[in-house]
Structure 1
């Protein structure tokens, strides 16, 4: 999984003009660079200088490592620590295979990442590793969950009162505090459906399934949204998969599968 993430991020940076390719073993590249948090490294490619600041480094059991990077926009002259203080940021956070920097990159110094520089990394942790996010930011996980639940309860009450847009705002606050709160994601999606905002609902159901892959309500409702949006082929695939994935709800999936197939036959 991490390798695929590294590949995608390397491809993105390459498209933006930042090279992460490893050089041949030429004399000037004999010394390999091992990056650590705070390192600022530069690379010259096609007359342009790229700079990256290492925010954190994760070591994996297989011996590989991920460097969490902040990247700056390329400039025509070699950057310095001083010039980078005013430089424009290109990407606030990208996880890249640390081995990509062993050759062709030059260390120009080390500076502890500031709170502002860590914004992208912190948001990444929040969405991908919530326990680490809590520890990294020094927050109280129980307090976060308590506050998120308070927003959830207010949203539920507002929904009962017919104040759907206000309910969506409260569900959003709950999700922002606690991205793993799939019940809040589901309820926001259902509220979007009630407002006829099917694409927004579909987006939420897909987000919910990333958090809770076995959520039968989110899985089924994803198919329902696709059907109502006219993407009948995708909806058919969802309902067909649901028959086997959720055997206790097979009848419901079968009913909607037949409806979708009838719509497809009718053109």
Structure 2
């Protein structure tokens, strides 16, 4: 039995029956997912459930075997990664992707490598520097001299060089100390406050849901549960399976976000 709930009238991104994998093996086995514009959506679930594969299928690093990926009303299922990038989909992978011998500013400007207008690049740099004090303060420092959390913050800031429509973040807190994780999730919250659309994969489910309007649980390559970030944080079953402890009330950072597009939906 499946409970239904209202979905955004004009969703930014929709995955409809998407299957995908590597070689002969399928990781995604019929993913149905909707991402609303101007919202943060967090994917959680056990290892191997298809979270990172979902992001790769959206950004074009992996082509779906079947199903459709629709972005702003256009079927992009067969477009290349570059074509999707030019449409405003930016993917920040798990692994650190800065050039350590280049400065912070040079790394940020590399985010606009497809741009040809140097004036536009300079304007966007100024905007990014104003939005991320770390970027402004360490502009001339080599990226390799930054801590792991600082590097991840610069990677997130770099996405804004293309003024993206959708930012895909894959495990931004992985391998970071607690203080650095707080800084990274603050950057995600800042993106939300600025009205950016973010699809976040996060193993630290509690922190990911706390900065998200919508939470989605993946199990076995399919969507098992969808709800607001606050609802999933307070759901006893989600708490037992994914939060590492009995569920607690949602922290203020989750409840202070604008209301998400829909309520919980259990998909059995």
Alignment TM-score > 0.5, same fold: no
Using the size of structure 1 for normalisation, the TM-score is 0.27
**Normalized per residue, which structure has more helix?**
1
In terms of Rg, which structure is larger? 1
Which fold has the larger relative contact order, with Cα–Cα distance below 8 Å and residues 6 or more apart in sequence? 2
Using the size of structure 2 for normalisation, the TM-score is 0.27
